[in-house]
Structure 1
Amino acid sequence: MPVLVTDRSAERTREAAGWVIAVLGGFGVTAVLSIAGQPRQYFAGAWYMLVVAVASLVGGWRAGALAVLTASAGLLWAVLPPRRELSVDDAGDVGALVAFFAAAVVLVVLVRSRDRVRRLAEGRSARSTHLAQLMEGLSRATGVEEVMAASLDWCRDSLGATRSLLTLSLDDGGHGTREEWWSGHRLVDDELRMRADELFDHGGTFVDRTGVIAARLSAPAGPVGVLVTDLGPEAALDDEDVEALSLAAANIAHAVARARLHEREHAVADELQRTLLPPDLPRIHGFEARAWFRPSAHDTVAGDFYDVVVDGDHWMAVVGDVSGKGVQAAAVATAARHTFRAAALHGSSPAETAAMIDRAIVALREPGLFCTAVLAAGRQGSGRASVVVAGHPVPLLVRGDGEVEALEASTTVLGALPDLALDPTEVHLRAGDSLVVYTDGLTDGPGGGVDVARLLAGATSDQLVGRLDRLRAPGGRDDVAVLALTRTG
């Protein structure tokens, strides 16, 4: 029973050992029986069956069949040597030999049935193992390039393929230009390429007698490509092997479709994320504004945003975080940011702006989504600022000498209540003081996140930027937005 690329070296070793036992044991009957004497038929039968049984169990049914032939020849030579006239007394020996031969044939048939069942079970186990290895590799792949690499690595490492080709249509419908990925030396056989093209157009699988097997990658939207792999002439392939490769091709096709969807969603998420962040921060007289955003390791758009608006001699800044992730959270964050900009340009106070953002989010009617935020406003050139905190992590006032003060916070979030009233906190920043606002991606990380107050304690205005930049390392569980306003004079 052919098995899809199973290492058969141990099996070949056992077969060779069985053949040796069959040859030596069979022809050894003559020497043993020449010493044994009477009753020959009983001793001969025991030896005969022992040789056949050992050869069959060690080397399989083929070795057992060889043992039947060699042992039968040895028995005939020992019990009925040539150039001897047969007598009535030899009839018992002949009858015994016939019985031994029949029993041996039955034993070989049983061993063959056992080998067939064992090979069938081993084949199915090997196929299941190979498919599990493919699924494990595909589960870790997020982009199309990673899917192609995982598939070719599977062909090489799990199947033992000497060369493999993956062709992939550049669109989901299978009508665009096809791109190729290779493993091993290139399959330059024109006939093979032609058959692969036919397979892409008409579907199905094909198996070449040289061990080349191919299957079309079919997704719900249509064909996406073809997998061609060369397993070598020794990989005798059967219908179950072809079915297994067809299943593998289907898994690869679904992985390609999933990867393409992920890449499109990631592109949309990047575009949405850019709408939540200003390209540059405006200059505030008497302050230096610094801000940065760190995306999470999950490559999903989130609702973290920040912005600064300068209108005449007034300025206003915001850092916000919408609950949840995905397009809905980004839509709420976009509405909050645009409302902030409109209110800031209209001359509203931080408390009035927070109330307007609250009403805008309530009007969206997105169940379960709300926004936390910190809004700060002041006059250019002045160190006085009015700060409103709405359910957000407490902003920190880092003095020029390194002392850290936490401002008062409110547990009321935006978007939960239609009529919101928040009391502002008045702060005074002297030269070297900084107001630091951040989203909860810093504090809600593994192990309790970052103790920002402890991190910034003792930092001078020159050291503040360096300590904040340490938090920008990629790979966090959640997005992070940070805004620092440092009084320069």
Structure 2
Amino acid sequence: MNEVQELTKILEGLSQAGSFQSAANRLTRWARAFTGCNAAILRLIEDDGHGPWLAGYVADGADAAFFRDEMMVHETECICGRVATGAIDRSLPCYTDGGSFIWDRLSTLTSDLGQERIGPLRGRCIKENYESVAVFPVRAAGRSVGSLHLADSRRNWFSASVGVVEAACRLAGDTLLRFKAREREQALLKTIETALLPGVPPVVEGLEVGVSFTSATEMAHVGGDFYDVLDLGETGALVLVGDVCGRGVEAAGTAARARYALETQASLTPDPAEFMRAANDSLTRLLPADRFVAAAACLIDRRSGSITTCLAGHPSPLLLTSSGIVEVKAPHNPPLGLFAGLQFSEGTQEMPAQDTLLMYTDGVTDSRNRDVRFGEEGIARVVAGLPDHDPRRIARSVCDEATGFHDAAYPGDDRLVLAIRRGAR
């Protein structure tokens, strides 16, 4: 099939799509199949008045962790954002006349062209060992509305297909945007929830994990709650819970940025106080002056049974024991992203087998009814009424009871509950 026929095929396929999700899937899957690359991600520009974010709608072939990390990218922090907004230097050999980024030796990009000329990089494609990367602007009505990001582990992969894919993306935006904004919004909500609040937590040996959270039905109501559970091998398991101030696209983008910063720093050193310090310095540079992140990090040593906790403007976790509920002992530190150069403190205590760690965002305890807070007392009442300490039952029951307790006359907030039980060795 020649280039004209290939272009005609995808454009006809897009025109026949009956929904935004179908059209987005068709474009992404076609690009990956046509080029034979490892992974493809379709992103569109979203802006709620606080600056553009590049939001991932569809991924094909990409590892789940890679897509989760790349789901929300600010316009300034990597090449994909700059291609989408047209903020590129066309004098560089990595850019085409059509505004696309094409490079087939990604591991040597900065040494080949110079970091200052290229601009900021997240480095996630390099971490994934991709060598060939192509980012094409997606256009509608003569303006850029997003980008199509293709990646492959082999070198010199995209040179033969650039013209067709670039043309397809130049014409695809009008089709994608012809669908109602509400339909696109629902697709984005699903992507954000999958990235920040996976309904099924990761499986970690030696731990039982339950999670429950409230879901937004409109983008304007999306908050910044997030969590992660990381298996660090012999070091143990790291549990992260965080909350970003604000709502909408910016809150979701900031939460994605915070989760990525915490995970990146934790991969370098598992000590909670140390990686929180490094993440704070990174976020202070990245976040606007009026934004911050509340976070709690708990490192569970599955061998010794100890738990090391670092709190950054976040409520203290609770430990559910055979004799009752106690607050995890850890000093409180400022939220992340406000001041650079801070040192963070942590606390360590025992977590016997079959005890359950309960972590939650302040939307749970701040639920109100007739001027009465749900509080830690509400959590204790719920747990006391349960037949056992099954983590899934605990997380679901606490979240549901706090949501039902809250009077809609008061401002609402997101609610996230994570329960982790350490099994016997």
TM-score, with structure 1 as normaliser = 0.43
Answer 1 or 2: which has greater strand percent.
Answer: 2
Answer 1 or 2: which has greater helix percent.
Answer: 1
User: Radius of gyration: which is bigger?
Assistant: 1
Higher relative contact order by CA 8 Å / sep ≥ 6: 1 or 2?
2
TM-score, with structure 2 as normaliser = 0.50
